[in-house]
Amino acid sequence: MERTSSTSHITYSILLSLSLAHFMNDAFQSVLSAVYPILKNNLLLTFTQVGLITLVYQICASVFQPVFGFMFDKKPSTWYLVAGSASTCIGLFLLAYANSLFSVLVSVSFIGLGSSVIHPEASRLTHLASGGRHGLAQSIFQIGGNLGSSLGPLLAALIIAPYGQKYIAYFVCAAFIAIFLKYPIFKWYSKKLKCIKAGKEQKTVAVRKGYLPRKTVILSLCILLTLIFSKYVYMASLTNFYTFYLIEKFSVSIQHSQFYLFAFLFAMALGTFVGGPVGDRIGRKYVIWASILGVAPFTLLLPHVNLFWTCVLTIFIGFVLSSAFSAILVYAQELLPTKVGLISGLFFGLAFGIAGIAAAVLGNLADQKGIEYVYRICGYLPLLGIVTVFLPNVRFHKK
Protein backbone atom coordinates (compact mmCIF):
# COMPACT_ATOMS: atom_id res chain seq x y z
CA MET A 1 0.00 0.00 0.00
CA GLU A 2 1.22 3.52 -0.80
CA ARG A 3 2.15 5.67 2.10
CA THR A 4 1.37 9.25 2.89
CA SER A 5 2.96 11.29 5.59
CA SER A 6 1.18 11.77 8.84
CA THR A 7 1.27 15.50 8.27
CA SER A 8 -0.16 15.31 4.76
CA HIS A 9 -3.02 17.58 3.75
CA ILE A 10 -5.96 16.92 1.49
CA THR A 11 -4.87 17.44 -2.14
CA TYR A 12 -7.89 19.16 -3.66
CA SER A 13 -6.41 19.59 -7.15
CA ILE A 14 -5.84 15.84 -7.50
CA LEU A 15 -9.22 15.01 -5.97
CA LEU A 16 -10.89 17.29 -8.51
CA SER A 17 -8.90 15.64 -11.33
CA LEU A 18 -9.96 12.20 -10.08
CA SER A 19 -13.54 13.41 -9.82
CA LEU A 20 -13.32 14.66 -13.42
CA ALA A 21 -11.95 11.27 -14.51
CA HIS A 22 -14.84 9.59 -12.67
CA PHE A 23 -17.27 12.06 -14.25
CA MET A 24 -16.18 11.29 -17.81
CA ASN A 25 -15.98 7.53 -17.25
CA ASP A 26 -19.47 7.27 -15.75
CA ALA A 27 -20.93 9.61 -18.37
CA PHE A 28 -19.77 7.18 -21.04
CA GLN A 29 -20.96 4.20 -18.99
CA SER A 30 -24.42 5.70 -18.46
CA VAL A 31 -24.92 6.20 -22.20
CA LEU A 32 -25.38 2.42 -22.31
CA SER A 33 -28.49 2.28 -20.12
CA ALA A 34 -29.80 5.50 -21.67
CA VAL A 35 -29.84 3.96 -25.17
CA TYR A 36 -31.57 0.75 -24.07
CA PRO A 37 -34.91 1.84 -25.61
CA ILE A 38 -33.12 2.61 -28.90
CA LEU A 39 -31.30 -0.74 -28.91
CA LYS A 40 -34.53 -2.52 -27.98
CA ASN A 41 -36.35 -0.97 -30.95
CA ASN A 42 -33.49 -1.35 -33.44
CA LEU A 43 -32.69 -4.98 -32.59
CA LEU A 44 -36.20 -6.08 -31.52
CA LEU A 45 -35.02 -7.11 -28.05
CA THR A 46 -37.14 -8.40 -25.16
CA PHE A 47 -36.84 -7.11 -21.62
CA THR A 48 -35.02 -10.32 -20.77
CA GLN A 49 -32.41 -9.58 -23.45
CA VAL A 50 -32.05 -6.01 -22.17
CA GLY A 51 -31.41 -7.50 -18.75
CA LEU A 52 -28.86 -9.88 -20.31
CA ILE A 53 -26.96 -6.92 -21.78
CA THR A 54 -26.80 -5.33 -18.35
CA LEU A 55 -25.76 -8.63 -16.78
CA VAL A 56 -22.81 -9.07 -19.18
CA TYR A 57 -21.77 -5.46 -18.70
CA GLN A 58 -22.01 -5.65 -14.91
CA ILE A 59 -20.11 -8.95 -14.75
CA CYS A 60 -17.21 -7.42 -16.69
CA ALA A 61 -17.48 -4.28 -14.57
CA SER A 62 -17.66 -6.13 -11.25
CA VAL A 63 -16.01 -9.56 -11.19
CA PHE A 64 -12.61 -8.12 -12.06
CA GLN A 65 -12.76 -5.14 -9.72
CA PRO A 66 -11.60 -6.93 -6.54
CA VAL A 67 -8.88 -8.67 -8.58
CA PHE A 68 -7.69 -5.40 -10.06
CA GLY A 69 -7.94 -3.67 -6.66
CA PHE A 70 -5.75 -6.35 -5.07
CA MET A 71 -3.26 -6.05 -7.92
CA PHE A 72 -3.17 -2.26 -7.66
CA ASP A 73 -2.38 -2.51 -3.94
CA LYS A 74 0.49 -4.92 -4.65
CA LYS A 75 1.88 -3.48 -7.90
CA PRO A 76 1.01 0.21 -8.27
CA SER A 77 1.46 1.84 -11.67
CA THR A 78 0.64 5.19 -13.24
CA TRP A 79 -0.79 3.56 -16.39
CA TYR A 80 -3.87 1.80 -15.01
CA LEU A 81 -6.28 4.71 -15.45
CA VAL A 82 -5.14 5.19 -19.05
CA ALA A 83 -5.71 1.50 -19.81
CA GLY A 84 -9.22 1.68 -18.36
CA SER A 85 -10.14 4.69 -20.49
CA ALA A 86 -8.77 3.00 -23.63
CA SER A 87 -11.00 -0.04 -23.02
CA THR A 88 -14.06 2.20 -22.63
CA CYS A 89 -13.15 3.98 -25.87
CA ILE A 90 -13.06 0.69 -27.79
CA GLY A 91 -16.38 -0.43 -26.31
CA LEU A 92 -18.19 2.78 -27.29
CA PHE A 93 -16.90 2.53 -30.86
CA LEU A 94 -18.17 -1.06 -31.17
CA LEU A 95 -21.52 -0.12 -29.61
CA ALA A 96 -22.10 2.65 -32.16
CA TYR A 97 -22.06 0.09 -34.99
CA ALA A 98 -23.46 -2.97 -33.19
CA ASN A 99 -26.15 -4.65 -35.33
CA SER A 100 -26.87 -7.79 -33.29
CA LEU A 101 -27.29 -8.86 -29.70
CA PHE A 102 -23.90 -10.59 -29.81
CA SER A 103 -22.08 -7.46 -31.03
CA VAL A 104 -23.78 -5.42 -28.30
CA LEU A 105 -22.59 -7.93 -25.70
CA VAL A 106 -18.99 -7.68 -26.99
CA SER A 107 -19.07 -3.88 -26.89
CA VAL A 108 -20.48 -3.69 -23.37
CA SER A 109 -17.78 -6.14 -22.23
CA PHE A 110 -15.09 -3.63 -23.18
CA ILE A 111 -17.03 -0.81 -21.52
CA GLY A 112 -17.39 -2.90 -18.38
CA LEU A 113 -13.67 -3.78 -18.25
CA GLY A 114 -12.82 -0.08 -18.47
CA SER A 115 -15.03 0.58 -15.47
CA SER A 116 -13.54 -2.35 -13.54
CA VAL A 117 -10.11 -0.73 -13.84
CA ILE A 118 -11.01 2.91 -13.24
CA HIS A 119 -13.24 2.54 -10.16
CA PRO A 120 -10.90 0.71 -7.73
CA GLU A 121 -7.78 2.52 -8.95
CA ALA A 122 -9.26 6.01 -8.84
CA SER A 123 -10.89 5.29 -5.48
CA ARG A 124 -7.55 4.09 -4.11
CA LEU A 125 -5.82 7.26 -5.32
CA THR A 126 -8.63 9.30 -3.76
CA HIS A 127 -7.85 7.67 -0.42
CA LEU A 128 -4.18 8.47 -0.94
CA ALA A 129 -4.90 12.14 -1.68
CA SER A 130 -7.42 12.58 1.16
CA GLY A 131 -5.02 13.70 3.89
CA GLY A 132 -7.10 11.64 6.34
CA ARG A 133 -10.45 13.26 5.43
CA HIS A 134 -11.68 10.11 3.77
CA GLY A 135 -15.42 10.84 3.75
CA LEU A 136 -15.02 14.26 2.13
CA ALA A 137 -12.50 12.91 -0.39
CA GLN A 138 -14.78 10.01 -1.39
CA SER A 139 -17.71 12.39 -1.77
CA ILE A 140 -15.72 14.64 -4.09
CA PHE A 141 -14.74 11.57 -6.09
CA GLN A 142 -18.24 10.09 -6.10
CA ILE A 143 -20.04 13.28 -7.10
CA GLY A 144 -18.02 13.31 -10.31
CA GLY A 145 -19.22 9.81 -11.14
CA ASN A 146 -22.84 10.51 -10.32
CA LEU A 147 -22.87 13.78 -12.24
CA GLY A 148 -21.43 11.86 -15.18
CA SER A 149 -24.10 9.19 -14.78
CA SER A 150 -26.81 11.83 -14.79
CA LEU A 151 -25.36 13.50 -17.88
CA GLY A 152 -25.42 10.33 -19.99
CA PRO A 153 -29.21 10.17 -20.43
CA LEU A 154 -29.34 13.92 -21.16
CA LEU A 155 -26.71 13.57 -23.90
CA ALA A 156 -28.51 10.51 -25.22
CA ALA A 157 -31.76 12.48 -25.37
CA LEU A 158 -30.14 15.40 -27.21
CA ILE A 159 -27.70 13.57 -29.48
CA ILE A 160 -28.56 9.88 -29.90
CA ALA A 161 -32.37 9.67 -29.64
CA PRO A 162 -33.09 12.18 -32.45
CA TYR A 163 -30.38 10.94 -34.85
CA GLY A 164 -29.76 7.26 -34.14
CA GLN A 165 -27.40 4.71 -32.63
CA LYS A 166 -24.39 5.59 -34.80
CA TYR A 167 -24.13 8.96 -33.08
CA ILE A 168 -22.67 7.12 -30.09
CA ALA A 169 -19.44 7.44 -32.09
CA TYR A 170 -19.23 11.09 -30.99
CA PHE A 171 -18.64 9.84 -27.45
CA VAL A 172 -15.60 7.91 -28.70
CA CYS A 173 -13.86 11.22 -29.44
CA ALA A 174 -14.69 12.48 -25.95
CA ALA A 175 -13.41 9.24 -24.41
CA PHE A 176 -10.14 9.64 -26.32
CA ILE A 177 -9.76 13.20 -25.02
CA ALA A 178 -10.41 11.93 -21.48
CA ILE A 179 -7.19 9.90 -21.67
CA PHE A 180 -5.13 13.08 -22.00
CA LEU A 181 -7.05 14.86 -19.23
CA LYS A 182 -5.59 12.34 -16.78
CA TYR A 183 -2.11 13.88 -17.18
CA PRO A 184 -2.22 15.84 -13.84
CA ILE A 185 -3.02 12.58 -12.01
CA PHE A 186 -0.27 10.77 -13.91
CA LYS A 187 2.30 13.45 -13.01
CA TRP A 188 1.27 13.63 -9.32
CA TYR A 189 1.19 9.86 -8.87
CA SER A 190 4.57 9.42 -10.57
CA LYS A 191 6.13 11.76 -7.98
CA LYS A 192 4.24 10.01 -5.20
CA LEU A 193 5.53 6.59 -6.25
CA LYS A 194 9.11 7.86 -6.34
CA CYS A 195 8.76 9.17 -2.78
CA ILE A 196 7.24 5.91 -1.64
CA LYS A 197 10.02 3.83 -3.18
CA ALA A 198 12.62 6.15 -1.63
CA GLY A 199 11.00 5.64 1.79
CA LYS A 200 10.34 9.35 2.24
CA GLU A 201 6.69 8.87 3.18
CA GLN A 202 5.14 6.98 6.05
CA LYS A 203 1.88 5.20 6.29
CA THR A 204 -1.27 6.94 7.42
CA VAL A 205 -4.08 4.64 8.43
CA ALA A 206 -7.37 4.96 10.22
CA VAL A 207 -7.14 3.41 13.68
CA ARG A 208 -10.15 2.25 15.64
CA LYS A 209 -10.65 3.73 19.07
CA GLY A 210 -11.12 0.50 20.91
CA TYR A 211 -10.47 -3.03 19.76
CA LEU A 212 -12.84 -4.74 17.36
CA PRO A 213 -12.51 -8.53 17.26
CA ARG A 214 -12.07 -10.24 13.91
CA LYS A 215 -15.61 -11.66 14.11
CA THR A 216 -17.02 -8.17 14.59
CA VAL A 217 -15.13 -6.89 11.56
CA ILE A 218 -16.42 -9.79 9.44
CA LEU A 219 -19.99 -9.27 10.71
CA SER A 220 -19.74 -5.55 9.94
CA LEU A 221 -18.57 -6.24 6.39
CA CYS A 222 -21.45 -8.70 5.88
CA ILE A 223 -23.93 -6.08 7.09
CA LEU A 224 -22.44 -3.48 4.77
CA LEU A 225 -22.71 -5.90 1.85
CA THR A 226 -26.37 -6.55 2.72
CA LEU A 227 -26.97 -2.81 2.58
CA ILE A 228 -25.19 -2.65 -0.77
CA PHE A 229 -27.53 -5.41 -1.99
CA SER A 230 -30.62 -3.47 -0.88
CA LYS A 231 -29.43 -0.20 -2.39
CA TYR A 232 -28.23 -1.49 -5.74
CA VAL A 233 -31.05 -3.87 -6.52
CA TYR A 234 -33.46 -0.98 -6.07
CA MET A 235 -31.20 1.37 -8.03
CA ALA A 236 -31.04 -1.24 -10.84
CA SER A 237 -34.82 -1.11 -11.14
CA LEU A 238 -34.63 2.64 -11.75
CA THR A 239 -31.47 3.06 -13.81
CA ASN A 240 -32.37 0.23 -16.20
CA PHE A 241 -36.17 0.21 -16.37
CA TYR A 242 -37.37 3.67 -15.25
CA THR A 243 -37.67 4.89 -18.85
CA PHE A 244 -39.72 1.81 -19.81
CA TYR A 245 -41.93 2.33 -16.74
CA LEU A 246 -42.64 5.93 -17.71
CA ILE A 247 -43.27 5.03 -21.35
CA GLU A 248 -45.64 2.17 -20.50
CA LYS A 249 -47.56 3.72 -17.60
CA PHE A 250 -47.70 7.39 -18.62
CA SER A 251 -47.18 7.16 -22.41
CA VAL A 252 -44.26 9.61 -22.46
CA SER A 253 -41.86 9.64 -25.43
CA ILE A 254 -38.42 8.01 -25.36
CA GLN A 255 -36.78 11.45 -25.39
CA HIS A 256 -38.90 12.78 -22.51
CA SER A 257 -38.34 9.61 -20.47
CA GLN A 258 -34.59 10.25 -20.66
CA PHE A 259 -35.07 13.75 -19.26
CA TYR A 260 -36.87 12.21 -16.28
CA LEU A 261 -34.03 9.72 -15.88
CA PHE A 262 -31.57 12.62 -15.96
CA ALA A 263 -33.48 14.31 -13.09
CA PHE A 264 -33.26 11.15 -11.00
CA LEU A 265 -29.54 10.61 -11.69
CA PHE A 266 -28.71 14.27 -11.06
CA ALA A 267 -30.42 14.00 -7.66
CA MET A 268 -28.24 10.96 -6.99
CA ALA A 269 -25.14 13.04 -7.74
CA LEU A 270 -26.13 15.72 -5.25
CA GLY A 271 -26.96 13.14 -2.58
CA THR A 272 -23.58 11.48 -2.99
CA PHE A 273 -21.75 14.69 -2.09
CA VAL A 274 -23.71 15.00 1.17
CA GLY A 275 -23.08 11.51 2.57
CA GLY A 276 -19.29 11.63 2.93
CA PRO A 277 -18.69 14.91 4.83
CA VAL A 278 -21.80 14.41 6.98
CA GLY A 279 -20.47 10.95 7.87
CA ASP A 280 -17.10 12.51 8.80
CA ARG A 281 -18.90 14.86 11.17
CA ILE A 282 -21.69 12.85 12.81
CA GLY A 283 -20.66 9.24 12.13
CA ARG A 284 -21.19 7.04 9.11
CA LYS A 285 -23.68 4.71 10.81
CA TYR A 286 -26.24 7.50 11.15
CA VAL A 287 -25.91 8.44 7.49
CA ILE A 288 -26.43 4.80 6.48
CA TRP A 289 -29.50 4.55 8.73
CA ALA A 290 -31.16 7.63 7.24
CA SER A 291 -30.26 7.04 3.62
CA ILE A 292 -31.44 3.44 3.20
CA LEU A 293 -34.20 2.81 5.73
CA GLY A 294 -35.38 6.43 5.42
CA VAL A 295 -36.53 6.08 1.80
CA ALA A 296 -38.73 3.01 2.40
CA PRO A 297 -42.03 4.97 2.72
CA PHE A 298 -41.35 6.69 -0.58
CA THR A 299 -40.35 3.57 -2.53
CA LEU A 300 -43.52 1.85 -1.31
CA LEU A 301 -45.63 4.83 -2.41
CA LEU A 302 -44.00 5.25 -5.85
CA PRO A 303 -46.09 2.73 -7.90
CA HIS A 304 -49.35 4.38 -6.77
CA VAL A 305 -48.85 8.03 -7.83
CA ASN A 306 -49.21 10.07 -11.03
CA LEU A 307 -46.42 11.27 -13.35
CA PHE A 308 -45.70 14.48 -11.43
CA TRP A 309 -45.34 12.74 -8.07
CA THR A 310 -43.41 9.88 -9.67
CA CYS A 311 -40.80 12.44 -10.75
CA VAL A 312 -40.78 14.13 -7.32
CA LEU A 313 -40.48 10.85 -5.42
CA THR A 314 -37.70 9.47 -7.61
CA ILE A 315 -35.72 12.71 -7.20
CA PHE A 316 -36.06 12.44 -3.42
CA ILE A 317 -35.26 8.71 -3.43
CA GLY A 318 -32.19 9.27 -5.61
CA PHE A 319 -30.90 12.08 -3.39
CA VAL A 320 -31.33 10.27 -0.07
CA LEU A 321 -30.42 6.74 -1.13
CA SER A 322 -27.23 7.78 -2.94
CA SER A 323 -25.80 9.41 0.18
CA ALA A 324 -25.18 5.93 1.60
CA PHE A 325 -22.42 4.68 -0.68
CA SER A 326 -19.61 7.03 0.38
CA ALA A 327 -20.40 6.33 4.03
CA ILE A 328 -20.52 2.54 3.46
CA LEU A 329 -17.30 2.47 1.44
CA VAL A 330 -15.27 4.62 3.86
CA TYR A 331 -16.63 2.65 6.84
CA ALA A 332 -15.39 -0.55 5.16
CA GLN A 333 -12.01 0.99 4.26
CA GLU A 334 -11.52 2.03 7.87
CA LEU A 335 -12.28 -1.49 9.04
CA LEU A 336 -9.40 -2.75 6.83
CA PRO A 337 -7.18 0.33 6.32
CA THR A 338 -4.28 -1.57 4.74
CA LYS A 339 -6.48 -3.05 1.99
CA VAL A 340 -7.98 0.09 0.46
CA GLY A 341 -7.67 -1.07 -3.16
CA LEU A 342 -9.10 -4.50 -2.39
CA ILE A 343 -12.03 -3.05 -0.39
CA SER A 344 -12.74 -0.45 -3.09
CA GLY A 345 -12.71 -3.14 -5.78
CA LEU A 346 -14.84 -5.48 -3.68
CA PHE A 347 -17.53 -2.93 -2.90
CA PHE A 348 -17.61 -1.32 -6.33
CA GLY A 349 -17.50 -4.77 -7.90
CA LEU A 350 -20.30 -6.20 -5.80
CA ALA A 351 -22.37 -3.07 -6.34
CA PHE A 352 -22.03 -3.48 -10.10
CA GLY A 353 -22.44 -7.25 -9.98
CA ILE A 354 -25.56 -7.12 -7.84
CA ALA A 355 -27.00 -4.48 -10.14
CA GLY A 356 -26.27 -6.66 -13.17
CA ILE A 357 -27.87 -9.81 -11.75
CA ALA A 358 -30.80 -7.73 -10.53
CA ALA A 359 -31.28 -6.23 -14.01
CA ALA A 360 -31.47 -9.71 -15.56
CA VAL A 361 -33.88 -11.00 -12.91
CA LEU A 362 -36.03 -7.85 -12.97
CA GLY A 363 -36.08 -7.85 -16.77
CA ASN A 364 -37.45 -11.39 -16.77
CA LEU A 365 -39.95 -10.42 -14.06
CA ALA A 366 -41.08 -7.46 -16.17
CA ASP A 367 -41.67 -9.78 -19.13
CA GLN A 368 -43.67 -12.15 -16.93
CA LYS A 369 -45.62 -9.80 -14.66
CA GLY A 370 -45.30 -6.31 -16.15
CA ILE A 371 -43.00 -3.41 -15.42
CA GLU A 372 -45.26 -1.88 -12.73
CA TYR A 373 -45.13 -5.13 -10.75
CA VAL A 374 -41.34 -4.76 -10.56
CA TYR A 375 -41.66 -1.46 -8.70
CA ARG A 376 -44.26 -2.81 -6.32
CA ILE A 377 -41.88 -5.62 -5.27
CA CYS A 378 -38.70 -3.54 -5.20
CA GLY A 379 -40.36 -0.94 -2.99
CA TYR A 380 -39.80 -3.22 0.01
CA LEU A 381 -36.01 -3.50 -0.45
CA PRO A 382 -35.01 -0.41 1.58
CA LEU A 383 -36.59 -2.06 4.64
CA LEU A 384 -33.39 -4.15 4.79
CA GLY A 385 -31.77 -0.99 6.12
CA ILE A 386 -32.93 -2.15 9.56
CA VAL A 387 -29.80 -4.37 9.78
CA THR A 388 -27.76 -1.17 10.28
CA VAL A 389 -28.65 -1.50 13.96
CA PHE A 390 -26.08 -4.31 14.22
CA LEU A 391 -23.15 -2.18 13.02
CA PRO A 392 -20.79 -1.29 15.89
CA ASN A 393 -20.60 2.34 16.96
CA VAL A 394 -16.93 3.03 16.22
CA ARG A 395 -14.95 6.18 15.70
CA PHE A 396 -11.70 6.45 13.82
CA HIS A 397 -8.71 8.74 14.18
CA LYS A 398 -5.65 9.19 11.99
CA LYS A 399 -2.31 7.93 13.16
Higher pLDDT, 93 or 350: 93
Q: Is the pLDDT of residue 209 over 70?
A: no
Kindly list the domain boundaries of the chain, sorted by start residue. 12-398
Superfamily of domain 12-398, CATH level 4: MFS general substrate transporter like domains (1.20.1250.20)
Distance CA 81, CA 87 (A): 10
How far is Cα 287 from Cα 321, in angstroms, rounded to an integer?
Answer: 10
At residue 395, the pLDDT reads: 56
Q: Is the pLDDT of residue 189 over 50?
A: yes
Other CB atoms within 10 A of residue 90 CB: 18
Looking at residue 250, what is its pLDDT?
Answer: 93
| One-character DSSP codes across 280-333 | HHH-HHHHHHHHHGGGHHHHHHGGGS-HHHHHHHHHHHHHHHHTHHHHHHHHHH
Q: What is the pLDDT of residues 299-348, one digit of tens each?
A: 999 999 999 999 999 999 988 888 887 788 888 877 877 677 677 777 77
Top pLDDT among 394 and 37 is at 37
Q: What is the mean pLDDT of the chain?
A: 81
Dihedral sign, CA of 203, 208, 209, 210?
Answer: negative
**pLDDT tens digits for 244-286?**
899 999 999 887 887 898 888 788 878 877 766 777 777 778 8
pLDDT value for 2: 37
Question: What's the chain's Rg over C-alpha atoms?
Answer: 20
Between 220 and 65, the higher pLDDT residue:
220
Q: What is the pLDDT of residue 109?
A: 92
**141, containing H or E segment:** helix 134-155
Least confident of 35-49, 104-118, 129-143, 376-390: 129-143
Q: What gap in Å lies between CA 135 and CA 398, rounded to an integer?
A: 13
Q: Is the pLDDT of residue 133 over 90?
A: no
